[in-house]
Amino acid sequence: MIKDPVKPNSPLPRKYFGTDGIRGRVGVFPITAEFILKLGWAVGKVLAQKGYGKVLIGKDTRISGYMFESVLEAGLSAAGIDTQLLGPMPTPAIAYLTRTLRAQAGIVISASHNPYFDNGIKFFSADGSKLPDDIEVAIEEQLEKPMTIVDSAELGKAVRIVDAPGRYIEFCKSTISSDTTLNGLKIVVDCANGAAYHVAPSVFRELGAEVVEIGVEPNGLNINLDCGATHPEILRQHVMLEKADLGIALDGDGDRVIMVDHEGNILDGDELLFIIARYHKELGILRGGVIGTVMTNLGLERAFQGLNIDFDRVAVGDRHIVSELKNRHWCLGGEPSGHIICLDSTTTGDGIITALQVLSAMQHAQKTLSSIKLGWHKYPQLLVNVKVSHDFNLDIEAIQNTLKHVENELGETGRVLLRRSGTESLVRVMVEGKDAARVEQLANQLAEVVRAERPVKSLSKE
């Protein structure tokens, strides 16, 4: 079994914070108006103790964002913290604007690729990176205290920033060479009816591409619904119908991307990471190596070996990738989900910037997306998600026995990963090997045992 790497000094588990902030179903604790109000206050108290000033609040397009934006603002105001409201903006845009507007923290109201009925809160520090562990611990400690309100004269104020989209569009364009244009390219852009709906098409259009927009009509309920990076088949259909050169699919908060070439082939994050890494290596700008995760395809690891590019794996989650990149003073990492980190351009995963890097590689090589992705063999890999209760235990004898059987069947020619999701009540079963049929059989076999052992009475309706 391939386990998530864990550092010896990993922090203790949080009560509320997960791998990517706090996330869950709207109306179910802790994603309630009452809790988020107090969370805003707790964040404000911790920041105030450190002498921090204004905080930015941005959100995606799900309907509950209106409610949570209001209560976060109220909680921060009660603690004496001023807020600047950005409205719907991609998560990486909020990280960028937190830096450039000299805010002391940025708050994102989003559940990323999840359906509209979920939501979450995640934070950026003043430099646009995820909050340090000690700040998260301090916030959780503050949440255990009774809520108080500062004197009326000290209450925080709120203003709305109206030029945020334009600022971010210009930043995205600045991350590639000024002589790179997209003239002559026809691109389908799927914004998942999410936070990038009003900025992503403009970025590619202003660089010269002919843009066909889909997933740009959010109504609060249709975010990620049969569109975007989690449903790239829709993008593929439009690429083929429009006879476009390629397609770009973002997720609900714009921090990940999946692409489609003109032949209708879907490129996941591993393929995009390969294109960017090889491009940077050719230009001589690849600093160090590349960081992947336990989900990264084995074929990509071997391709990097052939290119003399160092590669290592960390646990799933951009937080772990960024941490390891900073530790090694490297710049590039990513996940198969399309979450790519380019630390030489920005501080967090950014779907638009990732797509621009791939487009730059295409223009540099004067090749199509279908041609430039060639150069490595992708091992057949199957990921099966099994819905479980939040406290489901993987150490059940039947599951462990089946796991050992699958490992023995694969030997040295494949990998098995059995892990809990950090953002959803799911167990992820991943099997990878040389034979696609055998991989599918073994993955489904292990997934069926997990399903059989889960406590049905504690599951929500599927």
Instruction: Report the C-alpha gap between 312 and 304 in whole angstroms.
Output: 10
* Sign of the torsion angle spanned by Cα atoms 451, 382, 322, 195: negative
The CA distances from residue 269 to 106, 259, 276, 292, 424, in Å, are: 26, 9, 10, 10, 20
Instruction: Report the C-alpha gap between 431 and 449 in whole angstroms.
Output: 14
Whether the Cβ atoms of residue 88 and residue 59 lie closer than 8 Å to each other: yes
Q: Hey, what are 235's tokens? A: 């993008």
Residues belonging to the active site:
112
Give CA 120 to chain center in angstroms. 13
Torsion of CA 453, 454, 456, 457, to 10 degrees: 110
Whether the Cβ atoms of residue 378 and residue 300 lie closer than 8 Å to each other: yes
Beta-carbon contacts of residue 299 (< 8 Å; ≥ 6 apart): 270, 376, 377, 378, 379
Report the residue count for the chain.
462
For tokens 């730059």, name the residue: 360
Q: Hey, what are 145's tokens? A: 């205290």
Strands (E), 299-447: 311-314, 332-334, 340-342, 381-387, 415-420, 426-432
Instruction: Report the C-alpha gap between 224 and 191 in whole angstroms.
Output: 9
